[in-house]
Structure 1
Amino acid sequence: MELSEKVAIARKRKGLTQEQLADLANVTVRTIQRIERGESIPRAFTIKTLAKALGTNFEDLANNETQNDSSPNVSAVVQNNFNPDNERHILKILCLSCFSYLAIPLVHFIIPIYLLKHSGSSNTLTINLARVVIRRQIYWAIVHSFLLLLTLAYNFINAVYFEASYLLHYLWPFFTMYILNAFIIMHSLIRINNTTYSPVFSV
């Protein structure tokens, strides 16, 4: 029996959906779908994670199905299913979702994290670039909060010790950081457009 059939049968036997199995195994839904369709041969680590989530043994699930990433079968699957335009589209949507900071600042990075988790992409470059975009948004939220606190501290000290000779308006750091983040997101979009893709997957 093929690995794809074993995973599908074991999942249905436990009454799990593909989404539930993906959450238990800490992989994407797309990864589960590709494995069950026989479009991808996962690494040993992924098989071990699936075996644990399905409550079965690694040996029973693998049964000589594990292959090196350099094997002809894996290469053929990657070449047939890899689409650079789809990967760029995923990253562009993720980048554009970062503009949610205009409505929900400081926690807006949760949206691109959610999109990455449910994107279904297993391409290493896509995942790495998405993580860079998300990290930049987290850094922005931290710096934004720090500048507002710094402004508060400056105004407090100025009011208490210098009789409020000059108070800094909170809108200055606020709008400065907002404009800066727009440039950060646009820079990420330009980087994505200029990225050269190769079919390297991390299943």
Structure 2
Amino acid sequence: MNTIALKEKVKEARVAKGLSQEALAEMSNISLRTIQRIEKGIVTPRLYTLQTLAEKLDVDVSDFTTDESNVQDVSKEISVLKIMNLSILVTLMIPLGNIIFPFIIWKVSKRLKDLRHIGGKIISFQIIWTIITLLFFFIAVFFTNLITGNAGNGFYSASIAYILCLGFNIVILSKSTIQLNKEYTKVLPSVPNFF
């Protein structure tokens, strides 16, 4: 969408909601200067900015992004994120593959621009998951040995702990893939982004 049409749409949606530029800036965590520049048609905002504004103004983001090339770019970025997400399943065969393969895809992909932060969140979640899984594994072995006094029994409890953690990872992976299929870009909102 050209900046002239975009500035009118954003201002129109803001006024319809009864908000000043200052109020919109405060509730969206987007600087007042950025909102002013968008409404003056000086800048073309990033997709993330448009999504945030659309969410706060209760409009569909497509109202702001009718430019066909922008839609195609987002679609390409989402397909890269889905590939990253599915590459996590490599951990079933290769230890730490859930971190290594998504990281390689994230690092070498030229398509990821506006949604690069989501790739960082996917990798960050896998790092956190791996650390927690290792802790559960060692805790299961330790307590099984402590309770039974037999080191051989620790393998079974550790295997159960790993299978439970793996199931949790697959559930989160499935949920984020479904969100990406719906082009929902607030994937893994509570996960800190280490990248």
Report sequence identity in percent: 21
Q: Does residue 95 of structure 1 match 2:85?
A: yes
1:169 corresponds to which of 142, 150, 157? 157
Q: CA deviation at 1:87?
A: 1.4
Show structure 2 runs of 5+ residues with no match.
Answer: 1-41, 45-66, 186-195
Q: Does residue 146 of structure 1 match 2:119?
A: no
User: Would the alpha carbon gap of residues 81 and 122 (structure 1) be closer, same or farther in structure 2, given more than 3 Å must change?
Assistant: farther
Q: CA deviation at 1:132?
A: 1.3
| Distance (Å, rounded) in 1 between the aligned partners of 2:112 and 2:89 | 24
| Distance (Å, rounded) in 1 between the aligned partners of 2:78 and 2:68 | 17
Show structure 1 runs of 5+ residues with no match.
Answer: 1-68, 72-78, 198-203
Backbone CA RMSD of aligned residues: 2.8
User: Would the alpha carbon gap of residues 107 and 90 (structure 1) be closer, same or farther in structure 2, given more than 3 Å must change?
Assistant: closer
Letter in 2 for 1:98: I
Number of equivalent positions:
120
- Which portions of structure 1, spanning 4 or more consecutive aligned residues, are displaced by more than 4 angstroms? none
Q: Deviations over 1:133-186 (max 9, x none)?
A: 1111111101110001101211232245xx89x866222101111111111111
Q: Deviations over 1:21-75 (max 9, x none)?
A: xxxxxxxxxxxxxxxxxxxxxxxxxxxxxxxxxxxxxxxxxxxxxxxx817xxxx
Letter in 2 for 1:136: F
Task: Point out which structure has higher relative CO (alpha carbons under 8 A, 6+ apart).
Answer: 1
Match of 2:43 in 1: 70
Structure 1 or 2: more helix by fraction: 2
1:30-69 mapped onto 2 (5 Å cutoff): none
User: Would the alpha carbon gap of residues 176 and 158 (structure 1) be closer, same or farther in structure 2, given more than 3 Å must change?
Assistant: same
Q: Does residue 186 of structure 1 match 2:159?
A: no
Given that 2:90 and 2:97 are in contact with CA atoms closer than 8 Å, whether structure 1 keeps it comes out as no
Instruction: Please say which structure displays the higher CA radius of gyration.
Output: 1
Q: Deviations over 1:88-119 (max 9, x none)?
A: 11111111101111112335311101101111
User: Would the alpha carbon gap of residues 117 and 81 (structure 1) be closer, same or farther in structure 2, given more than 3 Å must change?
Assistant: farther
Letter in 2 for 1:123: K
